[in-house]
Structure 1
Amino acid sequence: MRYSREHKFQTHERIVKKASVKLREKGAHGIGVADLMKDAGLTHGGFYAHFDSRDALVIEAFTHAMDRSTARWRKLSEETPVEKRLSKIVNTYLAPVHRDDLGHGCAVPALAAEIARESAKTRRVFSGRMEQMIDMLAEQFHGMPRKAARKEAVAALATMMGSLVMARVAGNGELSEEILKSGRDAVLGRANPVAKKPAKKATTSM
């Protein structure tokens, strides 16, 4: 039986979406092709009708996940007043619900350590998507020159992702909550530093 091009496209998309979730849950090396295909409701033998290699699927899967994260940030930004956009993104990212949902969360904290040991092509694609996340975050630092905003965005993203990893390691108790809050405070504190009080003028005795 021959399937239409549209059917093949839909099947391909289903495999990528399912793999995207499983890879974030179990890691890039925590699940095999057979299991990925089974989870998508397909046989192992049909894999190469859709992908040249396992690496090709991994690349598509985490690209899909990172694109979803950037799109989510974009949607939050569009729905929020300008002055509250950064805090909305940060508070949503460093939240218990995100900490506890590995399969549908940001791919970078879930996979970055493994991707660093993957092929140059895989790292290049991953890096390109991370650049998009940095650019999206830099847009939220209003009133800053572009170079300064990018620097702040890189620092913010590193803090957010590191905090999320630590919070997940700590579980879901008080320490985990403390880590999430400290991460939020660190990012938003840099973006909105407390204005220094003007020094009192010295008085001279007559």
Structure 2
Amino acid sequence: MAKPLLLLVLSLIFLSFLSPTLSSTISNDIDWWCNKTPHPKICKHYYMTHNPKVTNSTPKVKSEFKKTIVQIALEESLKAETHNKWLGFKCRNKKEKAVWNDCVQLYEETITLLNQTLDSTTKCTNYDMQTWLSTALTNLETCKAGFVELNVSNNVLPLMSNNVSDLISNFLAINKNDSMTPDTERYKDGFPSWVSGAIILVDGIVKSRYECN
């Protein structure tokens, strides 16, 4: 009787150590993270095939996962910007040239916003990141809409296709619950701590000019 009881106790002890390990493995698996995004296939593809320096380990916490998504989106945006600039010679008329030029500028602004989100000195909140990357996503959608609205989407636009929008959408979905309300601890006088500015008077109305520190 004593031997079976001893084996049972040892088994329970073993399982108690094994269970957290299994749980940790599951929660840290990239599939587990990517399946929480609206574009899981794209998430997995880029996470597994991207720069080893960025993806050499599975994220252990959500903040690490979010940061990696933005890093990947930034690098893909830089590639897209270079490619899009090269496509300028394919524009057949002034309309295409005008929309293409707008797209190049919109990608440049998107890259700035992605860099701003990753900048550790900015000390931005989840709310700030959601705002900035929502703007970045709007930029990319505006680029596509310009070609469609001018009815010139059959030439240059297909060559500009990439997954940057989906990568940013993945971040926004993961970050959404974290950004429902601004982080009040980082806000002063209604503005984030990374904001500084000068109060100016225009036609008797007090206005502010703000910029990131």
TM-score, length of structure 2 as denominator length:
0.26
Which protein has the bigger helix share? 1
**Comparing both structures, which one devotes a greater share of its residues to strand?**
2
Which has the higher Rg, Structure 1 or Structure 2? 2
